[in-house]
């Protein structure tokens, strides 16, 4: 796990007892972790200058999330915080809180994602339109496709429905075959 220069600089401010006194540090990190986990405390730690509070809040929240993302160990956290001029007491407070909340942070991160739903089943139906509201004679087949999809981490099945002509369906099948071949090549190399 590497920290950006900006994050390191902000963490150095957090580690400095001149900016954040020792009696305010533990409530600050507790509030941050609870807020990140969605357990809004709504409490603002009094006694910290607002600009320092804002910068520290962002830096520590980012640090906790990055540490959870990379499954950081106590030694990783300690070395990173020592580089940011944290005292041994503050490093121990962060390590203790991180150990306590690590699984909850990782679980929360796993629920956040940009993955697309997985197709688990397909239903289709062929309809033949003989006429519609605009024309007396249409005489065209239309395929009605229903993709059954499942979100990552959820067992709820959702339907994605669309209609297409024979040519559009053939194009879709061709693209799916190309994707399958590309995936097979990627797994074999």
Q: Mind listing the pLDDT tens digit for each residue in 82-121?
A: 999 999 999 999 999 999 999 999 988 887 766 778 888 9
List the domain range (segments joined by +) for residue 81.
5-111
Q: Which of 111, 142, 166 is the last residue of a domain?
A: 111
pLDDT (average), residues 58-63: 95
Q: Which of 82, 111, 140 is the last residue of a domain?
A: 111
Return the SS3 of 21.
coil
Quote the CA–CA distance of 102 and 94 in Å, as a whole number: 11
**154 φ, ψ (degrees, to nearest 5):** -130, 145
Total domain count for the chain? 2
Specify whether 15 is located in the same domain as 97: yes
Specify whether 30 is located in the same domain as 58: yes
5: buried, middle or exposed (CB in 10 Å: 19+, 13-18, 0-12)?
Answer: exposed
Are 153 and 114 within 8 A, CB to CB? Answer: no
Q: Which of 80, 111, 142 is the last residue of a domain?
A: 111
Q: Mind listing the pLDDT tens digit for each residue in 136-168?
A: 777 888 999 999 998 776 788 999 999 999 999
């Amino acid at each position: 796990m590497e920290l950006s220069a900006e994050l390191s600089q902000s963490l150095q401010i957090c580690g400095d007892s001149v900016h954040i006194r020792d009696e305010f540090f533990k409530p600050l990190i507790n509030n941050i972790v609870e807020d990140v986990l969605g357990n809004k405390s709504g409490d603002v730690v009094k006694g910290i200058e607002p600009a320092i509070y804002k910068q520290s809040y962002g830096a520590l929240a980012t640090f906790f999330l990055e540490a959870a993302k990379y499954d950081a160990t106590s030694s990783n956290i300690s070395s990173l915080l020592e580089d940011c001029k944290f005292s041994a007491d503050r490093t121990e407070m962060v390590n203790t809180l991180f150990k306590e909340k690590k699984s909850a942070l990782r679980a929360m991160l796993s629920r956040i994602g940009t993955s697309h739903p997985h197709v688990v089943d397909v239903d289709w139906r062929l309809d033949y339109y003989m006429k519609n509201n605009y024309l007396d004679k249409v005489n065209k087949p239309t395929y009605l496709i229903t993709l059954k999809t499942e979100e990552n981490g959820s067992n709820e099945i959702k339907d994605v429905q669309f209609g297409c002509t024979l040519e559009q369906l053939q194009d879709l099948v061709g693209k799916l075959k190309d994707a399958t071949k590309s995936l097979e090549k990627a797994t074999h190399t």
